[in-house]
Every structure is written in structure tokens, then in C-alpha cells.
Amino acid sequence: MNAQQSQAQTQVSQARIRVFDTTLRDGEQSPGCSMTPPQKLVMARALAELGADVIETGFPASSQSDREAMALIGREIREPVLAVLSRCLQADIDTSLRALEAAARPRLHVFLSTSPLHREHKLRMSRQQVLDRVVESIRYAKGHIDDIEFSTEDGTRTEEDFLHEVVAAAIEAGATTINIPDTVGFTTPEEIRGIFQRLIAQVPGADKVILSAHCHNDLGLAVANTLAAIEGGARQVECTINGIGERAGNCALEEIVMALKVRNAFFEADTGIDTRRLVPTSQLLQRLIGMPVQRNKAVVGSNAFAHESGIHQHGMLRHRGTYEIMRPQDVGWPDTQMVLGRHSGRAAVEQRLRALGYYLEEAELDLVFADFKALCEQQRVVTDADLQALMQDTGDGEGYRLASMTVSDAGQRASATVELSDPDGRRVAETAEGDGPVDALFAALSAATGVQLSLESYQVHSVGLGTDARGEASLSVRHGEDEYEGTGTSRDIIEASALAWLDVANRLLRQRRAAGNSEQLATA
């Protein structure tokens, strides 16, 4: 068998898993996650861009807001299937059908509880009454719409013989998708895998329709159970962005999608999701509902690709695969974060300093690393700005250094005088005026260095704790077509501002020097 034949055989064996996103219905109905119709439209656009096969927009019979949302979404979103939820009641079905009128690819999703607990205490119906209602409702809907999904609410706690009977009746009545929800997150992977395997093997017509899994996360098993359902033969997964939903939530879309992608060889299944849009879509939902995800949330949490441990950072610097099983760019993060803190090692600090343009000898690195460890005792995370401040404190000589300065604001115009030590060790002094002390200071620095920077933004705040706290100045400047950010730290905020300005000027100097060295090497 040649390579092309092998690849073709692999493609044929791959199962295509449909992603049914219910963020706008099951997710939105959870406490604190409600959205207005315009917000739902914004989210629906993102879900369509993400590549969801089905978007469930709401429960039209439950509220006017859901009906309005479906109308808005239906008029604009044309490619994914648009579904709405309905009880097995003719009035609900009629309301849902009207809501779907604008949809290019409509689906009616009807449900009825099937478990003995629900039949007795919620529905007060017998097995036969449930069976009759299911058949009656699907047949009625089939006279108006072709794409019908039927869900056996609390299906995983339903007697298996009755579950098979209901599913068989729903298929015969015209349902094209059969969903088995783990409504209260009660099942286990082994159980749900067996449920789907036996449905396909024993229920007439089950192999001719799409079987779907809808798992809740009450025991933290939603993703694991959904994966097991796929192993059992499910070809549609019902999930939400960030896993939002009733109680502990639903199967998280980003987690199930990446599990199938990363472990593709194991599951032999994949989705049509554009995984590079997972993080942007997650962040959009967080902004819309005001509910952030925890930092250690898989795939989309801010720590998902962050490393602080020295052992992990050292491994990452040698080979990314040592501690990352997927690339951050593949899910929408810009890059891995090497977080510097008390657990970080010397190699990570050196790598970050090099990225900032500082190339140190061993003895110099020893001094900076010692200061870094001392700073870690005062704060949890050491930023790039902190490292640059450490370099200033240790007297990095590669660039302009501030020797002294005087700033006055007595009259209508402020004035500033600065004395610098240039890269060759010569003293340079200049005086300038400005609209305020900082403006005058920056004008004097520009005159002394010959570097022209256009200020875009400027902020000052505190760094550190207690008596060790220092002022930090942060600025954003433009030089030519490029934008740069600089920081400076000192007990005096005016001095910190000067150091921030020089931070940028010195970085430009290092870049020019590096470019000059590259040209010399190229011509050597």
C-alpha cells in the first residue's frame, strides 16, 4: 500500500462528529448567564464562524425574548442548522415552528422525560402515555418540518428496555436525530458507552439516524462521558462554550473538540470546528455574560499554556513537547507564557532577558538572578517590566544611563535638565521646556539622546508591598511606524518616568546594534 492509499484509508475511517452548540439555550438558561436577543445574535455569529454544525438558539415557548432572538438569528445566520427546543406539546411545537420560519436550515428539537423518577414525580404519566405522547408529537411536527431531533430527558437513568422502545418509536415516527441526555450528570463513561453500543445493535433503525450525546457536569464527567458516547457510536455532541449550563454546566465545547483533535489517532474522529477561534469565542462569551472562566480551565483558561516551574520551563526551552500536548496558537492563544515567579529557574530568566534584548555574561546573570529571587519573595509574578527595572538597578551599561536630573514647574512652562552617560561613557546634558514636568523631561531626554519618540500613553502606579513599594511608570510611544512600550521603576515617579523613556531609547539602540552585527556577519 502506497502513502496516498494509506492516507485515503485513514480519512475514510475518520468519524465526522457534528457539534451541536447549546450555549444560547441550555447555557444561557443557567443562573447569571442570560443574554438579550442582540447579545445572542452576536454570539451566534461567533458560533457560526467557529464552525458549529447546529446552533440551538433557545426555547421559544418559554419566553418572548427567545422568540425575538431566533427571529434575529434566523434572518442573518444562514449556514449552520438553527434549532429550537420544544416540549412534546402541540402548542409548544406550533410556537417553535413559527419561530423557525426565518431559518434557512431549521431543526425542531422536541423532548420528553423517560426515566421512572421523572415519569412518576414530574410527568405523572405511565410508560404507555409517554410513548404515545412522543409518537403523537413527532408525527405532528413531521407534517411541518423534516429535521426533527428527539431527546429522552434523563435518558441515562431510564430502564434500558423502555429507552429502546421509546427510541424505536421516535425513529419510526420520523425523528432524524436521537439524543440521549445525561440530564443530571449521573452516568459514567463505561455505562454511557454501553448505552450507545446497545442502541445501535438492538434498536431497529438506530444505525440509520444520528445518535447524539448531551452530558452534564455534576460529577465532573461531562467531557469524559461524551467521549465515551462517541466510542459507543454517537455522531453528534451537545456542548456549550466554556461549559456553561444548568448547575455545574455542560460538556465544554473547547474541551471535547480539542480532545478529539489531540487524540485523533485514538478516537479516529474529528469535528469541523476552527480550533483557532476557540479562545476568541470563549472570551466573547465571558464579556457578554460577565462570567470569567477559572485560570486553570482547560484550553481557554489563562494558565492553560503558562509555565512557572523551573523544571517545566527548562523542559519547554529544550522542546515544547515535553510539557505541552497542543500548540497555544492552534486554539487561539498568541503563544506560550513563561511565567516568572518563585519556582522559575535561571534558564527561564536568561531566556526572557534575551527576548528583551539583554545578553549577559555569567557573572552578570548571577547578580540579576539573585535580585530576581529576592523580588519573588515580595510578589507572586515577575513581569517584563520588573526584569527591566532589575537591569536598571544592576547598572546595565548597554545604553544611556541617567546620571542626574532637575525638574521645575514654577512658571507657565515647566523645564527639565538631564545629565546622561551615553553608551561610550561620555556625559551628555540638555535642558528643555514643556507643558508640564513630564513633557519637559521627555523633551530634554530626546535632545540628549537624539531619539525622537511620540508619546501615545503614560501611566504611573505602585509596584511591590509596604515599605519596599516603588513607583512604576509605563508608557507607550511611537518611533517611525513602530510602537514601543517602556517601563521604569524608582521611589521617585519622575525618575521612574525618565527610566521608562530611556528603556525604549536603549531598546532601539540594542536593536540597531544587533542589526549592525548581522550586516557585518553577512558581509564577512
Tell me which residue of 171, 253, 180, 248 sits closest to 214, measured CA to CA: 180
Tell me which residue of 523, 492, 311 sits closest to 405, measured CA to CA: 492
pLDDT at 331: 94
pLDDT band for position 511 (cuts 50, 70, 90)? low
As a whole number of angstroms, the distance between CA 417 and CA 427 comes to: 13
Q: In the CATH scheme, what is the homologous superfamily, with its name and number, of domain 10-289?
A: Aldolase class I (3.20.20.70)
Q: Determine the straight-line distance between the first and last CA of the chain, rounded to whole angstroms.
A: 51
Q: What are phi and psi of 36, to 5 degrees?
A: -80, 160
What one-letter code names the amino acid at 74?
G
**Position of cell 409517554?**
130
As a whole number of angstroms, the distance between CA 130 and CA 473 comes to: 69
Digit-coded pLDDT (tens) for 227-277:
999 999 999 999 999 999 999 999 999 999 999 999 999 999 999 999 999
Range 179-198 average pLDDT: 98
Alpha-carbon Rg for the chain, nearest whole angstrom, is 31
Does residue 468 surpass a pLDDT of 70? no
**474 within 8 A of 500, measured Cβ to Cβ:** yes
Domain with CATH 3.20.20.70 in the chain: 10-289
Lowest mean pLDDT among 218-232, 421-435, 482-496: 482-496
SS3 452: coil
State the cell numbers at 288: 457578554
Q: What are phi and psi of 350, to 5 degrees?
A: -60, -40
What one-letter code names the amino acid at 236?
Q
Tell me which residue of 430, 436, 433, 477 sits closest to 450, measured CA to CA: 430
Q: Mean pLDDT of all residues in the chain? A: 88
Q: Which residue has the higher pLDDT, 71 or 9?
A: 71
Bridge-partner residues for 431, per DSSP?
417
Q: Is 216 annotated as a binding residue?
A: yes
Does residue 183 surpass a pLDDT of 70? yes
Instruction: Give percent of the chain with pLDDT exceeding 70.
Output: 89
Instruction: Give percent of the chain with pLDDT exceeding 90.
Output: 58
Alpha helix (H) residue ranges in 411-467: 437-449
Digit-coded pLDDT (tens) for 85-105:
999 999 999 999 999 999 999
Digit-coded pLDDT (tens) for 297-348:
999 998 888 765 666 766 776 787 887 889 989 999 887 766 678 788 888 8
State the cell numbers at 131: 410513548
pLDDT at 361: 82
pLDDT at 308: 59
Domain with CATH 3.30.160.270 in the chain: 401-520
pLDDT band for position 396 (cuts 50, 70, 90)? very low
DSSP state of 395: T
State the cell numbers at 127: 410508560
Which stretches of 268-311 are assigned E, i.e. beta strand?
269-270, 306-307
DSSP track, 492-511: SHHHHHHHHHHHHHHHHHHH
Q: Which residue has the higher pLDDT, 371 or 152?
A: 152
Put residue 167 in one of left, alpha, beta given phi > 0 → left and psi -120 to 50 → alpha: alpha
What one-letter code names the amino acid at 213?
A
pLDDT at 278: 97
Does residue 517 surpass a pLDDT of 60? no
**Position of cell 545604553?**
399
**455 within 8 A of 446, measured Cβ to Cβ:** no
Q: What are phi and psi of 139, to 5 degrees?
A: -65, -40
Longest dimension (CA), the chain: 96
Alpha helix (H) residue ranges in 203-276: 222-232, 253-262, 264-267
As a whole number of angstroms, the distance between CA 37 and CA 43 comes to: 10
SS3 382: strand
Q: Is 250 annotated as a binding residue?
A: yes
Q: Is 26 annotated as a binding residue?
A: yes
Bridge-partner residues for 418, per DSSP?
405, 430
pLDDT band for position 488 (cuts 50, 70, 90)? confident
pLDDT at 245: 96
pLDDT at 467: 57
The CA dihedral of 439, 443, 445, 451, to the nearest 10 degrees, is 120
SS3 470: strand
Bridge-partner residues for 461, per DSSP?
472
pLDDT at 6: 47
pLDDT at 524: 43
**204 within 8 A of 171, measured Cβ to Cβ:** yes
Q: Which CATH number fits domain 401-520: 3.30.160.270, 1.10.510.10, 3.20.20.150, 3.30.70.330?
A: 3.30.160.270
Does residue 411 surpass a pLDDT of 90? no
pLDDT at 41: 96
As a whole number of angstroms, the distance between CA 17 and CA 227 comes to: 11
**240 within 8 A of 28, measured Cβ to Cβ:** no
What one-letter code names the amino acid at 100?
L
DSSP state of 119: I
Q: Which residue has the higher pLDDT, 197 or 363?
A: 197
